[in-house]
Structure 1
Amino acid sequence: MRPLSRRELGPLTGAAVLALAGCGASEAVPPQSTASAGEGGTTYPLVLRNGDREVRFERAPQRVVSLDQGSTEILLSLGLADRIVGTASWTDPVLDSLAAANEGVPRLADNAPTYEVLLGADPDLVTASFGRHFAEQGGVVTRDRLAETGIASYLSPTDLDDGQSVNGGKKARTTPLTVDSLFQEVRELAQVFDVAQRGEDLVADLQRRAREATEGVDVGGRTVAFWFANLDTPFVAGGKGAASLLATSTGLRNVFADQAEDWPSVSWESVVAADPDVLVLGDLRRDRFPGDRLAAKEEFLRTDPVASVLSAARAQRYVALHGAELNPSIRYVDGLAKLGAWWREHGQDL
């Protein structure tokens, strides 16, 4: 007789990784499972506060599905490719340095998978960079439903504002995103998987590379707009999300800094009125929205009667960044490096 899968065992399995919604009481821990610090020094059971709930781990997860590229690349960077049984929602090719590790990771969907496809991977943990995947409407599955079947869930702290998901609910941030939220995600996932030192090493490497990327770079308040996707009403970076963090780190001034949403939809007339010195264009390798790809954006800026009057369009003052470099992910250092390199080469022309 075949063994039962995790979704069949559901909450009955004693070794399951359990998600505890809200502030409910934790179950008693059997004496035999109170032990165990492994290579990273994690002691189980481990309980993390994550958004509006506590998530409890009886042991390091063995089968994780990551619903976003950013989350997947963190797991790969922590050396956890053998634990990833599914990934989804990619904007770009995987980092070259992670390509070999990613070869054996199943792609469940280029965008969001269905709930049935997710369950088919039989995960004991589901991670996401954006809370929209855990939303009641239009999402993959709610965290409560996962918890009911004994599957833990983890949402990146970069998508949390006052404990609530930005992209999965409240839409607007009250507090600007800082890189500390990304480092928290790295450290917490490393702790969950009992590879804490790998997490510290990754954070240290990101900090070093960020310093190198921005050394000597201060553009003196030159203005910028970040265009992620969509042709008719472009999605641009607001003032409190990851892309605007790239601006403040390099001395650029985001012309849509007054927008509280991460990626508000605006009119081209408002972009022209702001007339930024530089345009950062999303170089997305997908076709979810019109204008995802860099070539489509450049053609639009050349031919559209409104957008083509922009100073940056006429002078082709563009910096192309991958979608993953504009999202809150370990790719932020690559975005900083590209902005710094562009400024060193072209800044004197502004």
Structure 2
Amino acid sequence: MLLHRVVTLMATLALPALAHGAPTQYPLTLQNCASPLTFQHAPKSAVTIGQAGTEMFYALGLGDRLVGTSLWFNDVPVQYQAQNAKVERLADNDPSFEAVIGKRPELVAVQLEWMVGPQGVVGTREQFHELNIPTYLMPSDCEGKDNLVGADGTRMQPFSIGSVYKSISQLAEIFDVQQRGEQLNNQLKASLEKSVASLKGKDLSSTSALFWFSSADMDIDPYVAGRKGIPDFMLNTLGVRNVVESDEEWPTVGWETLAKANPTFLVIARMDRRRFPADDVEKKLEFLRTDPVTRNMDAVKNNRIIVLDAHAMQASLRLFDGIETLATAISQHDLSK
């Protein structure tokens, strides 16, 4: 998988050739989600609120700068476990404002605006900036998206994979490791091209799918992927149609409606957190196979259920592994029947 290859990449980048990359010129000022950020030097310490940023730090060889992490969906990949064990986990979900500032970070990297933003559960960007702590919000969660509409925000424009590359490039520039960022992005782009090529020639014109992330309770409407979000990008990239038409990031839709849409594939999230009952993938599978509505869906009857890490359904490095897993699973099914 891709993340294993990233470790090889970082070993290569440790060679002296890295020194030939053009250094960042400080003071550095960049625009981040409508907020200017200025750095007089590369931050010596950082806290991440969101697993996407944490794993980007590790992939860029910046794990030694992290003094705290939070908001985890899945366990850290094996290749990062040793590094991750050295960093304090401030919270499995959202940390307190006090816990973050108590680490005295010179940067807070944030995956989701509902964590740090106008209605942030941790705090607002202004609260951090008043303490001279810059907050870097992942562009994937602010560009073309209104996070004040809908439970998890609403996409005004379709998610762009360029926002992930942008996060990597900007973090690399902030920390003066541009060559690492460039090579990581090149590797991600190559992985994406390979996944798309693996389905070349397969007729997917009538193929559809549904992403089920979780449910606040097993007997209420599930959180499913909207039509302009990250899972929708994954499907469209592979030539598969999303049956959900809402612009919300993760709208709730009734199972009767979803059953009528009758997707070819069901993609369900596996996560290690236990915030909701349906975070447990085994409970998802049991529900699908026993509920009187869902058990009659073609995807369930024909075992066209694909399990993905929840983190692979987000704007992260694992998104590329997720697309590879989807492509592999789809290629193994004879859809002509």
What TM-score results when the alignment is normalised by the length of structure 2?
0.88
| CA distance 1:40–1:115, shift in 2 (3 Å) | farther
Aligned to 1:288: 275
In the TM superposition, 1:177-188 aligns within 5 A as 177-188=159-170
1:68-79 aligned at under 5 Å gives the runs 68-79=50-61
| Structure 2 partner of 1:7 | none
Kindly state the Cα deviation for residue 136 of structure 1 after the two structures are TM-superposed: 4.7
State how far apart, in whole Å, the 1-side matches of 2:150 and 2:102 are.
Answer: 24
Shift of 1:337: 1.1
Shift, 1:220, TM fit: 3.0
For residue 236 of structure 1, the aligned residue among 205, 224, 228 is 224
2:65 alignment partner in structure 1: 83
Give the match for residue 199 of structure 1: 181
Quote the residue 2:4 is aligned against.
none
Moved over 6 A (4+): 166-170
Shift of 1:179: 0.7
Aligned partner of 1:277 in structure 2 is 264
Task: Pick the aligned partner of 2:25 from 20, 43, 46.
Answer: 43
In structure 1, the partner of 2:312 is: 325
| CA displacement 1:286-319 (0-9 Å, x = unmatched) | 1111211210100001111222221111222101
Stretch of structure 1 that moved more, 214-223 or 178-187: 214-223
Question: Of 96, 101, 105, which aligns to 1:114?
Answer: 96
> How much does 1:98 deviate?
2.3
For residue 15 of structure 2, what is the aligned residue in structure 1?
Answer: none
**Post-superposition CA distance 1:130-176 (Å, at most 9, x none):** 00111454510110010100100010010013485578998211110
Moved more, 165-174 or 120-129: 165-174
Is residue 159–residue 166 contact of structure 1 (8 Å, CA) maintained in 2? no
Shift of 1:72: 0.5
Q: Secondary structure at the match of 1:87?
A: strand
Q: How many residues align?
A: 313
Q: Deviation at 1:100?
A: 2.8
Mean Cα displacement is larger for which, 90-99 or 104-113? 90-99
- 1:224 aligned partner, one-letter code: A
* Structure 2 unaligned blocks of 5 or more: 1-18
2:155 partner SS: coil
Letter paired with 1:314: K
What stretches of structure 1 of length at least 5 have no aligned partner? 1-36
CA separation of 1:265/1:164 partners in 2, compared to 1, >3 Å: closer, same or farther? Answer: closer
Provide the alpha-carbon RMSD of the alignment.
2.0
Going from structure 1 to structure 2, the CA distance change for 1:138 and 1:200 (only over 3 Å counts) comes to closer
Q: Secondary structure at the match of 1:280?
A: strand
CA radius of gyration, larger in: 1
- In the TM superposition, what is the alpha-carbon distance from 1:38 to its structure 2 partner? 9.8
Deviation at 1:178, TM superposition (A): 1.3
Question: TM-score under structure 1 normalisation?
Answer: 0.85
Mean alpha-carbon deviation: is it higher for 145-154 or for 204-213? 204-213
**Pairs within 5 Å for 1:11-50:** 41-50=23-32
Amino acid paired to 1:281: I
**Structure 1 position 123, deviation (Å):** 0.9
- Residues 290-309 of structure 1 aligned to structure 2 (within 5 Å): 290-309=277-296
Measure the CA separation in 1 of the matches of 2:72 and 2:263.
Answer: 29
In 2 relative to 1, CA 156–322 (structure 1 residues): closer, same or farther, beyond 3 Å? Answer: same
> Is 2:314 the partner of 1:314?
no
1:227 corresponds, among 199, 208, 212, to 212
